[in-house]
């Protein structure tokens, strides 16, 4: 009996999941993760306050807590050069609990 050339693999150009992930799967994962938010935050707080934890772990935990509470710090963007007739449009998407309370002003055209 001959061995299969692609044992355990899909044939080239074929997907094992041609229709993609069902939409409810992502929603279920998000719901499960959000259900553990309080436990996760408490774990981060314990790691942050743990005298026996390495400094790197404590700093990472503190950074994560701050990011969840206040959002990520702004990152400046420096643009140089002559754009000429080119138009540059930047769009920022913020999702989740760290989203800012106010909407940024609309650009002038």
Please give the model's pTM, rounded to 2 decimal places.
0.44
Q: Tell me, letter by letter, the H, E, C secondary structure of the chain.
A: CCCCCCCCCCCCCCCCCCCCCCHHHHHHHHHHHHHCHHHHHHHHHHHHHCCCCCHHHHHHHHHHHHHHHHCCCCCCCCCCCCCCCCCCCCCCCCCCCCCCCCCCCCCCC
61-88 pLDDT, tens digit each: 999 888 888 888 788 877 777 766 666 6
Instruction: Decide which of 12 and 4 is more confident.
Output: 12
User: Which pair of tokens denotes residue 23?
Assistant: 């939409």
- Is the confidence at residue 102, as pLDDT, over 60? no
- Matching residue, tokens 């005298």: 51
Q: Looking at residue 57, what is its pLDDT?
A: 93
Q: What is the pLDDT of residue 49?
A: 92
Q: How confident is the model at residue 101 (pLDDT cuts 50, 70, 90)?
A: low
Cβ–Cβ < 8 Å for 69, 97: no
| 7-60: pLDDT as tens digits | 678 788 777 777 777 767 777 888 888 888 899 889 999 999 999 999 999 999
**Domain locations along the chain:** 48-73
Give the pLDDT score at 1. 47
């Amino acid at each position: 009996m001959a061995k299969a050339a692609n044992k355990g693999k899909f044939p080239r150009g074929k997907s094992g999941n041609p229709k993609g992930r069902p939409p409810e799967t992502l929603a279920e994962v998000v719901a499960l993760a959000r259900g553990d938010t309080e436990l996760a935050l408490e774990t981060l707080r314990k790691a942050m306050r743990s005298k026996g934890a390495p400094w790197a772990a404590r700093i990472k935990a503190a950074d994560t807590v701050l990011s969840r509470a206040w959002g990520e710090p702004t990152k400046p963007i420096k643009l140089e050069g002559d754009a000429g007739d080119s138009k540059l449009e930047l769009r920022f998407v913020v999702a989740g609990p760290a989203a800012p309370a106010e909407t940024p002003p609309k650009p002038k055209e």
